[in-house]
């Protein structure tokens, strides 16, 4: 719980770091960060997801910046490019437009005999993005089109807590984002979480800041998404999961892991 706290304390810098982590961390970690973050602070997460940097930020770089990325990746720069691009929709145009003719020849000579797994491709793209982020931070490439949250979001002014511990958080348009009660600064009792459109996102019980007992989750259109038990904020026991097609399935969890 409170995975966003350290980032929120750092203001704009922390926000940019969190957004970058959404692209650089392993897929499972990002999924967990997103799920936890949406319940902790759906307003902050809404802004973070809207700013999420995709691999296309590299694909769209100008020729000279692409060469700089390749240079910083030495001595395995070309191999990293091959792992990242092979069989992608961008591969042909990127190689022809963004690489020196000599490097193009090397690329096409090697790619034919290089086998690339999804894991290798993901790792290569992460490595490339790490360099792109470094270049953006150093001012070597144009700044990303950041849409930074208002100061009230970064500083928590969109949160209202009364003397009895009743807690409410609001989106920038004034709509309720979540509500519940605090006890000794921890979430306690029944809480409700909402999407920006006002539809219920989730509802359930916290005990000393941890999700416990029965929780229900919903899609943005109000349809059921999942329902089951938590123990110490980890899924436990049988959960009913409903797909976007309306089909349901039963999944059993132990300490947060499906069994």
pLDDT per residue over 121-159, tens digit each? Answer: 999 999 999 999 999 999 999 988 899 999 999 988 999
Q: Is the per-residue pLDDT at 224 higher than 90?
A: yes
Average pLDDT over every residue of 4-23: 88
pLDDT tens digits for range 41-90: 999 999 999 998 889 999 999 999 999 999 999 998 999 999 999 999 99
Q: Is the per-residue pLDDT at 12 higher than 60?
A: yes
Q: Is the per-residue pLDDT at 205 higher than 90?
A: yes
Q: How far apart are CA 62 and CA 52, in angstroms?
A: 21
Q: How far apart are CA 255 and CA 164, in angstroms?
A: 33
Residues in contact with 224: Cβ distance below 8 Å, sequence separation at least 6, in sequence order: 216, 217, 218, 240, 242
pLDDT recorded at residue 2? 53
pLDDT recorded at residue 1? 47
Average pLDDT over every residue of 184-196: 96
Vertex 203: Cα angle to 198 and 209 (nearest 5): 120
Q: How far apart are CA 5 and CA 40, in angstroms?
A: 9
Q: Which residue has the tokens 């989730």?
A: 202
pLDDT recorded at residue 91? 96
> Which own/partner pairs from 153-162 qualify as long-range (CB within 8 Å, at least 24 positions apart)?
153/43, 153/44, 153/47, 154/8, 154/11, 154/12, 154/15, 155/11, 156/8, 158/43
> Which own/partner pairs from 160-164 qualify as long-range (CB within 8 Å, at least 24 positions apart)?
none
Q: Is the per-residue pLDDT at 28 higher than 90?
A: no
At 6, the pLDDT band (50, 70, 90 cuts) reads: confident
Of 90, 45, 31, the residue nearest 66 (C-alpha): 90
- CA 162 and chain centroid, separation: 32
Q: How far apart are CA 83 and CA 116, in angstroms?
A: 6
Average pLDDT over every residue of 88-107: 94
On average, the pLDDT of the chain sits at 92
Q: Which residue has the tokens 């691999």?
A: 55
pLDDT recorded at residue 24? 87
Q: How far apart are CA 162 and CA 156, in angstroms?
A: 15
List alpha helices for the chain, DSSP H: 5-8, 11-24, 27-40, 42-50, 56-59, 63-72, 77-85, 91-98, 101-111, 118-137, 151-154
Task: Tokens for 56, please give them.
Answer: 């296309």
At 36, the pLDDT band (50, 70, 90 cuts) reads: confident
Q: How far apart are CA 162 and CA 208, in angstroms?
A: 19
Q: What torsion, rounded to 10 degrees, do the Cα atoms 171, 174, 176, 178 define?
A: 40
Average pLDDT over every residue of 244-259: 92
At 96, the pLDDT band (50, 70, 90 cuts) reads: very high
pTM attached to this predicted model:
0.83
Average pLDDT over every residue of 242-251: 93
Task: Tokens for 241, please give them.
Answer: 């999961």
């Amino acid at each position: 719980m409170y995975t966003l706290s350290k980032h929120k304390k750092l203001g704009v810098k922390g926000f940019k770091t969190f957004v970058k982590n959404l692209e650089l961390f392993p897929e499972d970690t990002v999924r967990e960060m997103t799920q936890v973050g949406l319940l902790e602070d759906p307003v902050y997460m809404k802004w973070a997801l809207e700013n999420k940097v995709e691999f296309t930020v590299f694909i769209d770089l100008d020729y000279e910046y692409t060469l700089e990325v390749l240079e910083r990746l030495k001595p395995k720069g070309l191999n990293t490019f091959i792992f990242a691009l092979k069989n992608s929709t961008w591969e042909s145009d990127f190689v022809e437009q963004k690489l020196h003719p000599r490097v193009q020849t090397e690329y096409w000579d090697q790619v034919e005999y290089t086998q690339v797994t999804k894991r290798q491709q993901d790792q290569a793209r992460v490595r490339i993005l790490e360099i792109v982020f470094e270049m953006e931070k150093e001012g070597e490439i144009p700044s990303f089109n950041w849409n930074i949250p208002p100061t009230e979001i970064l500083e928590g002014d969109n949160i209202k807590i009364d003397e009895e511990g009743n807690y409410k958080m609001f989106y920038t348009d004034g709509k309720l984002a979540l509500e519940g009660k605090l006890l000794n600064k921890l979430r306690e009792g029944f809480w409700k979480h909402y999407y920006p459109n006002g539809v219920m996102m989730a509802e359930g019980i916290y005990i000393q800041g941890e999700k416990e007992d029965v929780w229900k989750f919903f899609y943005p259109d109000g349809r059921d998404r999942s329902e089951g038990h938590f123990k110490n904020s980890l899924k436990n026991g049988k959960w009913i999961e409903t797909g976007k097609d309306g089909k349901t399935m039963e999944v059993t969890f132990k300490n947060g892991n499906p069994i």
